[in-house]
């Protein structure tokens, strides 16, 4: 069965870089048409799509955050990664990684990791 | 960005039928998906591509629509369906979510 779990720093200060890891099982990012999508939920904007990394290493970013986002993967170890540079308080929220395909949307979600940006 | 508009809240009694609507500011073909989020939990996929039931989801849930107008229907509603329901489109860039409809079971 598919399972995903996010891990991150919990708390960080403004202007720092947020690094998140998604560890998953039950699928491989080496399989065609599979992707890991990143979504966050904030009090200000609700659910917000951030980025996707695909099985072929293609990447897609929300243009509103494009310049701040980096996604990568470690297919052998079933992990995906998200980095957001220069965070501020508006980046406070719960961050989810998901299994996504073109057809099914965000089919499976991790439990989420709470990130708080505070000085 | 494609704006998805949902009514903020609905209240229904168990056993009734409820329809939750989602209107897109521009066409999304059939690439509309529906999620259920219970308090303190992550969202869960219910319906993908407008009308396809996700794995393990009860047949009480169904979806319809294309273009700009979509509907999630629950029939019959059960007490456990208390949750917020979100629509999400994956046709236009960037992918966007609705603000959610909070369903209360009376």
Rg (CA), chain A: 13
Please check whether residue B8 touches A, CB under 8 A: no
**C-alpha distance from residue B52 to each of B6, B13, B40, B84 (Å):** 20, 26, 26, 19
pLDDT tens digits for range B58-82: 999 999 999 999 999 999 999 999 9
Pairing, β B96-97 against β B83-89: antiparallel
Instruction: Compute the distance between CA of residue B80 and CA of residue B76 in angstroms, rounded to an integer.
Output: 11
Structure tokens at B40: 């303190």
CB contact under 8 A, A106 and B86: no
What's the pLDDT at B48? 97
Chain A residues with beta carbon closer than 8 angstroms to that of B1: 64
**Helix, strand, coil % in chain A, rounded to nearest 5:** 10, 55, 35
- Strand, helix or coil at B84? strand
Show the CA angle centred on residue B90, arms to residues B105 and A92, nearest 5°.
70
pLDDT tens digits for range A61-115: 999 997 899 999 999 999 999 999 999 999 999 999 999 998 899 999 999 999 9
What's the whole-number mean pLDDT along residues A56-62?
95
CB contact under 8 A, A106 and B49: no
Is the pLDDT at A36 greater than 90? The verdict is: yes
């Amino acid at each position: 069965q598919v399972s995903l779990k996010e891990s991150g720093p919990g708390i960080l200060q403004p202007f720092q870089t947020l690094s998140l890891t998604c560890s998953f099982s039950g699928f491989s990012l080496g399989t065609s048409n599979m992707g890991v999508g990143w979504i966050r939920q904030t009090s200000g904007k609700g659910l917000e799509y951030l980025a996707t990394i695909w099985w072929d290493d293609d990447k897609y970013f929300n243009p509103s955050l494009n310049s701040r986002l980096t996604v990568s993967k470690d297919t052998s170890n079933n992990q995906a990664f998200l980095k957001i540079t220069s965070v501020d308080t508006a980046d406070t929220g719960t961050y989810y990684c998901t299994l996504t395909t073109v057809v099914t949307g965000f089919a499976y979600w991790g439990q989420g990791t709470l990130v708080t940006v505070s000085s | 960005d494609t704006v998805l508009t949902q009514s903020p809240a609905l209240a229904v009694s168990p056993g009734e039928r409820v329809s939750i609507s989602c209107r897109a500011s521009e066409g999304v073909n059939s690439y509309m998906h529906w999620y259920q989020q219970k308090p303190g939990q992550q969202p869960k996929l219910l319906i993908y591509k407008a009308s396809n039931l996700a794995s393990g989801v009860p047949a009480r849930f169904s979806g319809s629509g294309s273009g700009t107008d979509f509907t999630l229907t629950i029939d019959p509603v059960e007490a456990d369906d208390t949750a917020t329901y979100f629509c999400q489109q994956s046709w236009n860039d960037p992918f966007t979510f609705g603000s959610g409809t909070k369903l209360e079971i009376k």
